[in-house]
Amino acid sequence: MDVRVGAGLNPLGLNPLGLGIPAVDLKEEIARLKKERNAVILAHYYQEPALQDIADFVGDSLDLSRKAAATDADVIAFCGVKFMAEVAKILSPQKTVILPDLKAGCSLEDSCPPEEFARFRRAHPDHISLTYINCSAAVKAESDIIVTSSSAEKIINQLPADQKILFAPDKHLGAWLSRKTGRDMLLWDGTCIVHEKFSVTELLKLKAHYPAAPVLAHPECPAAILDLAHYIGATSGILSYALNNPEPVMIVATEPNIIHQMQLKAPHKTFIGAPGADGNCGCNMCPYMALNTLEKLYLCLRDLSPVITVPEDVRLRARVSLDRMLEMAGSVSAVPVRGD
Ligand code: 13P
Ligand code: SF4
Q: Are residues 205 and 163 in the same domain?
A: no
pLDDT per position as a tens digit, 138-188: 999 999 999 999 999 999 999 999 999 999 999 999 999 999 999 999 999
Q: Are residues 24 and 90 in the same domain?
A: yes
Whats the size of the chain, residue-wise?
A: 340
pLDDT per position as a tens digit, 235-271: 999 999 999 999 999 999 999 999 999 999 999 999 9
Instruction: Judge residue 5's burial from the number of C-beta atoms within 10 Å of its C-beta, 0-12 exposed, 13-18 middle, 19 or more buried.
Output: buried
| Residue 73, in any domain of the structure | yes
- What percent of the chain stands above pLDDT 70? 89
pLDDT at 226 over 50: yes
| Residue 140, in any domain of the structure | yes
Q: Which atom of ligand 1 is nearest to the CA of 148?
A: 3
Per-residue model confidence (pLDDT) at position 278: 80
Instruction: Judge residue 275's burial from the number of C-beta atoms within 10 Å of its C-beta, 0-12 exposed, 13-18 middle, 19 or more buried.
Output: buried
Per-residue model confidence (pLDDT) at position 331: 67
- Look at residues 221, 242, 273 and tell me which one is the last residue of a structural domain: 273
Å from CA of 149 to ligand 1 middle:
7
Confidence grade of residue 281 (pLDDT, cut at 50, 70, 90): low
Å from CA of 194 to ligand 2 middle:
6
pLDDT at 17 over 70: no
Judge if the beta carbon of residue 289 lies within 6 A of ligand 2.
yes
- Look at residues 170, 187, 204 and tell me which one is the last residue of a structural domain: 187
**β-pair type (127-132, 96-98):** unpaired
Mean pLDDT over residues 201-224, rounded?
Answer: 97
Strand order in the sheet with 57-59: 57-59, 39-44, 75-79, 96-98
Reported pTM: 0.91
Q: Which atom of ligand 2 is nearest to the CA of 109?
A: 1
In sequence order, what DSSP letters do the residues of 176-224 get, joined into one string? HHHHHH---EEE--B--TTGGGB-HHHHHHHHHHSTTPPEEE-TTS-HH
Q: Are residues 142 and 226 in the same domain?
A: no
| Residue 228, in any domain of the structure | yes
Q: Are residues 177 and 264 in the same domain?
A: no
Confidence grade of residue 284 (pLDDT, cut at 50, 70, 90): confident
Confidence grade of residue 335 (pLDDT, cut at 50, 70, 90): very low
Q: Which domain holds residue 16?
A: 5-104+289-313
Confidence grade of residue 279 (pLDDT, cut at 50, 70, 90): confident
Out of 131-135, 136-140, 255-259, 327-331, which region has the weakest mean confidence (pLDDT)?
327-331
Judge if the beta carbon of residue 252 lies within 6 A of ligand 2.
no
Å from CA of 246 to ligand 2 middle:
29
Å from CA of 4 to ligand 1 middle:
30
Give how many domains the chain has, as a whole number.
Answer: 3
Per-residue model confidence (pLDDT) at position 128: 97
Q: Whose CA is nearest to atom 7 of ligand 2?
A: 192
CATH at 306? 3.40.50.10800
| Residue 75, in any domain of the structure | yes
Those residues whose C-beta lies under 8 Å from the C-beta of residue 253, and which sit 6 or more positions away, are 195, 198, 203, 215, 216, 217, 218, 221, 225, 229, 274
Mean pLDDT over residues 22-43, rounded?
Answer: 93
Q: Residues lining ligand 1, CB < 6 A?
A: 60-61, 134, 148-150, 192, 220, 234-235
Q: Is residue 43 within 8 Å of residue 55, measured between CB atoms?
A: yes
Q: Whose CA is nearest to atom 8 of ligand 2?
A: 106
Per-residue model confidence (pLDDT) at position 6: 40
Mean pLDDT over residues 46-53, rounded?
Answer: 98
Per-residue model confidence (pLDDT) at position 134: 98
Q: Which atom of ligand 1 is nearest to the CA of 44?
A: 2
Confidence grade of residue 20 (pLDDT, cut at 50, 70, 90): very low
